[in-house]
Chains A and B, each alone.
Chain A
Amino acid sequence: DQQVKQNSPSLSVQEGRISILNCDYTNSMFDYFLWYKKYPAEGPTFLISISSIKDKNEDGRFTVFLNKSAKHLSLHIVPSQPGDSAVYFCAASISGNTPLVFGKGTRLSVIA
């Protein structure tokens, strides 16, 4: 029973355009959400996070949007660059004690 779902296994975007990666969750108790970026044979690196008290958080080219009523969040990358090509994992937790729960990831390919 997946609590965090990334329904698109892959996404291809042209360089300079916007990349939009989507994530849905089922547990309404989740109140903290993160995006991680992962290159092959390396550990994931933290990208951006958002608390449930916000609906948007921006960091440079990366913006995360949270729609609590729809239990949906998305990561926008603008403009997309070839170095953004990686697997992106959405993760969620209940603040306090629970480990992060990860989605299955979306492989982003940015084409020059």
Chain B
Amino acid sequence: DGGITQSPKYLFRKEGQNVTLSCEQNLNHDAMYWYRQDPGQGLRLIYYSQIVNDFQKGDIAEGYSVSREKKESFPLTVTSAQKNPTAFYLCASSSRDISTNEKLFFGSGTQLSVL
């Protein structure tokens, strides 16, 4: 089955700790994205990557870092510089094929909480 896999489902971070959220897709999509959902805030874009070895900051990139070494993988690191990391994190991917008009496919999310 093709899809996007996020792990872990739940993650806890201690003060001053960096944590990494995993996102893997087997849809052969070129573009991948990280969004953050907070209650009442909708989905806000953290980082996105349209091709391997390249990525761009979204609206709320401060305190986060990403890498895109492989087409299938787009891990997100929440660094200690992110002062309010508690949120539901969503990874998504899309085809660059213009016929699909950038419809995003989402993973099932990771809930990050601070201890």
Contact = CB atoms under 8 A, between A and B. Distances in A.
Contacts of A21: none
Interface range for B: 20 to 34
A32 B58 CA distance: 19
B42 A103 contact: yes
Contacts of B48: 99
A45 B43 contact: no
Interface residues of A, number: 27
B42 A95 contact: no
Contact of A105 (B4, B42, B45): B42
Given A89-B43, A102-B42, A104-B40, A41 B102 contact: no
A95 B90 contact: no
A97 interface: yes
Dominant SS at the B interface? strand
Contact of A43 (B42, B58, B108): B108
B101 interface: yes
Interface string A30-71: 001010100001111110010100000000000000000000
Contacts of A95: 98, 101-102
Contacts of B80: none
Contacts, number: 60
B106 to A, nearest CB: 3
A90 to B, nearest CB: 9
A37 B103 CA distance: 13
B90 A34 contact: no
A46 B98 CA distance: 17
Contact of B90 (A44, A99, A103): A44
A103 B41 CA distance: 8
A95 to B, nearest CB: 6
Given A36-B104, A45-B106, A89-B42, 12 more contacts: A9-B40, A43-B107, A44-B104, A46-B104, A95-B98, A97-B50, A98-B102, A99-B45, A99-B48, A100-B104, A103-B42, A104-B41
B102 A46 contact: no
Give the one of A34, A43, A49, A98 with max B CB within 10 A. A43
